[in-house]
A and B are shown apart, each in its own frame.
Chain A
Amino acid sequence: MFSQIVSAIGAMIFGVAICAAYFWFSNKLLDLIFPAREGDDVHRAAVNLRRRGLIRPWLFLGPALFLLVVYLVYPVVATFILSFYGPDGNKFVGGANYVWALNDTEFRQSIFNNILWLAVVPAACTFFGLVIAVMTDRIWWGNIAKAVIFMPMAISFVGASVIWKFIYEYRGGTDVQIGLLNAVVQLFGGTPEVWITIPFWNNFFLMVMLIWIQTGFAMVILSAALRGIPEETIEAAVIDGANGWQIFWKIMVPQVWGTIATVWTTITILVLKVFDIVLTMTNGQWNTMVLANLMFNWMFRGGGDSGRSAVIALVIMIAVTPIMIWNIRRANAEMKGR
């Protein structure tokens, strides 16, 4: 145990030091090659300064660009190409993988489930987040309540799976039901069930977990947006005799519409990539398969099929693309406005 800790600390220092050393030495080296003073030659010094200015941005950007290209840009291209190749990525098979996907029942099931997740989770998180934000802003202990609802964000999906598996726990025969859900069902005279094995509805039992985790995120962001609403608009509505319900839907919601869209798209992206929850709860059994898990399965199933796997990854990528373009355009507009 002790040697493990020592080697871990050693590895950490080594990793961080290499990184820091790169920036320090590369910049010193640049200053050495193009010194700011070269005797009395003012012209040479000016040339050196300009050259430094040309090169230094790339020293600063170098590691970031290298990692982004190797880990994100190149793989997008490579995955696209691999989707036209066979299981081991060596034999060109044309569109065979795409044809396979269209006819594969598991793939269709995954698409269906992903659409289900997309329809339910972002809407539920945003709605609950908005309602809770409005309510907690009106009570003195609102911040404590917010902290509690925000808390699951810090819990890993795997940890959440243990937590919720325990809630959905089913015990057969005459055993006492120790799962909260079955105990409550029994209390109201129902029959205990193995909830996560009931096709179709089990999807919702998994979605509840993500809603539990993500509502806090929606709440925090929407709460900040709600506080930015000019007080006069609400006062005016009060004077005009609007009730709380009307103020919420007609005054508050329209003013935070942009933020709602941001929250919605952020959670949408998260939902498209949902993986851990399905892996740990059902591993895609009982018709709960989603694209990310199917893709992961095909990476290793039967020795791995990179072609089919790549097709599934591309489907996720295509689903994300509209949001990506929207983000880029918005960022560009913001930079111009500055």
Chain B
Amino acid sequence: MMGNLGRIGPARIFVHAAVLLIVFLWLLPTLGIFVTALRERDQIVASGWWTAFAGSSRTTAARLDGPDKAKPEGANFVISGTLAVEGGGKIQSFGLRVQEPAAYKAGAPAALENGETLTINADGSYRYQKSGPFGADARAKRVYLTVATPPQFTFDNYRTVLGGEGIGQSFINSLTVTIPATVIPILIAAFAAYALAWMEFPGRAILIALVVGLIVVPLQMSLIPLLRIYNEIGQIFGVPSKTYPGIWMAHTAFGLPLAIYLLRNYISGLPKEIIESARVDGASDFDIFVRIILPLSFPALASFAIFQFLWVWNDLLIAMVFLGTDKDHLVLTAALNALLGSRGGNWEILTASAFVTIIIPLLVFFGLQRYLVRGLLAGSVKGG
């Protein structure tokens, strides 16, 4: 079908070019932080990340040695030495005034006023020569350098954020929240889905309609009453109101409608004969569920597991409300949000932290994309 279209549609080249452009545009934002997280702090602010592979040049100031270091050399007096250049950079040009930091080329002698010449080489060695003695009270000369630094990449930013900025701790917190909040709803939803698909009891149709309706109920409706319940329970039993079990339950509950809906659609589509023959053999519903339904439903369970994992890992609102914002309990998203406030301009920290928060979902995404797509299609296209 698509082959036909290709032949009769606009030139194929155009399609290739258009898709290439879109892919490029879509990739560019993420690429920006991946590259930036690997650059050194000074380089990040000195040049855009897209120049990272070409190296960067920046202007710094340095001071030559003072007149007291001048040595007579024939009729001339010479001050020589080496300027420190950080990061293995090469000096490209230099100047004497801040307005003209690149007035002279490095490596070639520059003729200054009063019969002075100054040569600064790319490696930082310099020779400052005057036809007469330097004034004894003159200050050490200040020069401005344009330094070209080769592309340099470092893992220092990651070391900083994982330790000092508490992102390592938050990573573990995120796992502590996410894994049970993914497994528990699957278990609960699978049992409920089986009951709604294969067991006869009054009110089944109403319950199914309720589940479908609850899928779209906005979280915002739940926050205020639940916060009150949590605080009251905390006060009555003298326990903290913001705990891991508390947020597991919240995530479980908010994920349940979609989970039950997806799994019920799948489980009700399993062949009737299998379940009926097991019943005839005297198996109880519990046995049927554990031995037959669970293994057969693996694709649907995996689809939902990925959804729920991504949703919980990436959630900010529920974590802020039910786990709080104190440092010990910060999950990655909340930690990143806090950093955006406190470290607004420190892109080396923000980008490295962002990378740590998005790498796990990205791995899950690329590793299990098949199941994710299947789940999406089951949930939104036909619903069964």
Provide the bound-state CA to CA distance between A1 and B216, in Å: 39
Residue of A nearest to B382 (CB): A334
The answer on a CB contact under 8 Å between A280 and B357 is: no
The residue that B260 contacts in the complex, of A64, A70, A76, with Cβ under 8 A, is: A64
| CB-defined contacts of A327 to chain B, threshold 8 Å | 212-213, 215-216
**Segment at the interface with A among B7-15, B123-131, B133-141, B147-155:** B7-15
Given contacts A156-B316, A162-B336, contact A328 B209 (CB under 8 A): yes
Provide the bound-state CA to CA distance between A105 and B173, in Å: 39
Residue of B nearest to A79 (CB): B221
Q: Which residues of B183-230 are within 8 A (CB) of A?
A: 183-184, 187-189, 191-192, 194-196, 199-201, 205, 207-229
The answer on a CB contact under 8 Å between B224 and A156 is: no
> Is residue A194 contacting chain B, with contact meaning CB distance below 8 A?
no
The residue that A75 contacts in the complex, of B22, B49, B225, B380, with Cβ under 8 A, is: B225
> Is residue A257 contacting chain B, with contact meaning CB distance below 8 A?
no
B24 shortest CB reach to chain A, Å: 9
Provide the bound-state CA to CA distance between A159 and B310, in Å: 13
The residue that B383 contacts in the complex, of A165, A244, A247, A330, with Cβ under 8 A, is: A330
Residue of A nearest to B222 (CB): A75
> Is residue A323 contacting chain B, with contact meaning CB distance below 8 A?
yes
Q: Which residues of B73-110 are within 8 A (CB) of A?
A: none
The residue that B381 contacts in the complex, of A165, A221, A269, A309, with Cβ under 8 A, is: A221
> Is residue B245 contacting chain A, with contact meaning CB distance below 8 A?
yes
| CB-defined contacts of B45 to chain A, threshold 8 Å | 171, 175-176, 178
A251 shortest CB reach to chain B, Å: 10
| CB-defined contacts of A89 to chain B, threshold 8 Å | 228
How many A-B residue contacts, CB cutoff 8 Å? 361
The answer on a CB contact under 8 Å between B314 and A157 is: yes
The residue that A310 contacts in the complex, of B1, B224, B376, with Cβ under 8 A, is: B224
Place the interface of chain A in its size category.
Answer: 35 or more
With an 8 Å Cβ cutoff, the count of chain B residues facing the other chain is: 125
> Is residue A306 contacting chain B, with contact meaning CB distance below 8 A?
yes
The answer on a CB contact under 8 Å between B48 and A177 is: yes
Contact with A along B134-173 (1 / 0, CB 8 A): 0000000000000000000000000000000000110011
The answer on a CB contact under 8 Å between B32 and A68 is: no
Residue of A nearest to B1 (CB): A231
Provide the bound-state CA to CA distance between A177 and B44, in Å: 11
| CB-defined contacts of A93 to chain B, threshold 8 Å | none
Given contacts A151-B365, A178-B347, A244-B5, contact A72 B224 (CB under 8 A): no
Residue of A nearest to B269 (CB): A338
The residue that B191 contacts in the complex, of A60, A139, A243, A316, with Cβ under 8 A, is: A60
A182 shortest CB reach to chain B, Å: 9
Provide the bound-state CA to CA distance between A247 and B6, in Å: 12
Contact with B along A319-338 (1 / 0, CB 8 A): 01001100110111011001
Given contacts A61-B191, A64-B192, A166-B351, contact A324 B209 (CB under 8 A): no
Q: Which residues of A233-281 are within 8 A (CB) of B?
A: 234-235, 238, 243-244, 247, 259, 262-263, 266, 269, 272-273, 275-276, 279-280
The answer on a CB contact under 8 Å between B187 and A19 is: yes
Given contacts A154-B310, A180-B28, A331-B383, contact A12 B217 (CB under 8 A): no
Residue of A nearest to B261 (CB): A331
> Is residue B23 contacting chain A, with contact meaning CB distance below 8 A?
yes
Given contacts A31-B284, A60-B192, A217-B376, contact A299 B223 (CB under 8 A): yes
The answer on a CB contact under 8 Å between B172 and A269 is: no
Given contacts A57-B201, A76-B221, contact A142 B180 (CB under 8 A): no
> Is residue A33 contacting chain B, with contact meaning CB distance below 8 A?
no
Provide the bound-state CA to CA distance between A212 and B29, in Å: 10
| B contact patch SS | helix
Provide the bound-state CA to CA distance between A235 and B1, in Å: 8
Which of B180, B225, B321: most chain A Cβ within 10 A? Answer: B225
A329 shortest CB reach to chain B, Å: 9
Given contacts A137-B2, A152-B30, contact A72 B222 (CB under 8 A): yes
Provide the bound-state CA to CA distance between A139 and B50, in Å: 29
> Is residue B317 contacting chain A, with contact meaning CB distance below 8 A?
yes
> Residues of B with Cβ closer than 8 Å to A?
1-2, 4-6, 8-10, 12, 15-16, 18-19, 22-23, 26-30, 32-33, 36, 44-50, 168-169, 172-173, 175-176, 179-180, 183-184, 187-189, 191-192, 194-196, 199-201, 205, 207-229, 244-245, 248-250, 252-254, 256-257, 260-261, 282, 284-286, 289, 310, 313-317, 321, 332-333, 336-337, 340, 347, 350-351, 353-354, 357-358, 361-362, 364-366, 369, 373, 376-377, 380-384
A-B contact pairs, 19 of them (CB 8 A): A15-B245, A56-B195, A56-B285, A64-B188, A70-B253, A75-B225, A138-B12, A138-B15, A148-B26, A148-B27, A163-B30, A166-B33, A169-B347, A178-B48, A180-B29, A235-B1, A235-B4, A310-B224, A332-B205
Given contacts A234-B5, A273-B219, 12 further A-B contacts (CB under 8 A): A5-B172, A27-B284, A64-B256, A76-B222, A137-B2, A145-B19, A159-B314, A163-B29, A220-B376, A291-B220, A313-B224, A335-B208
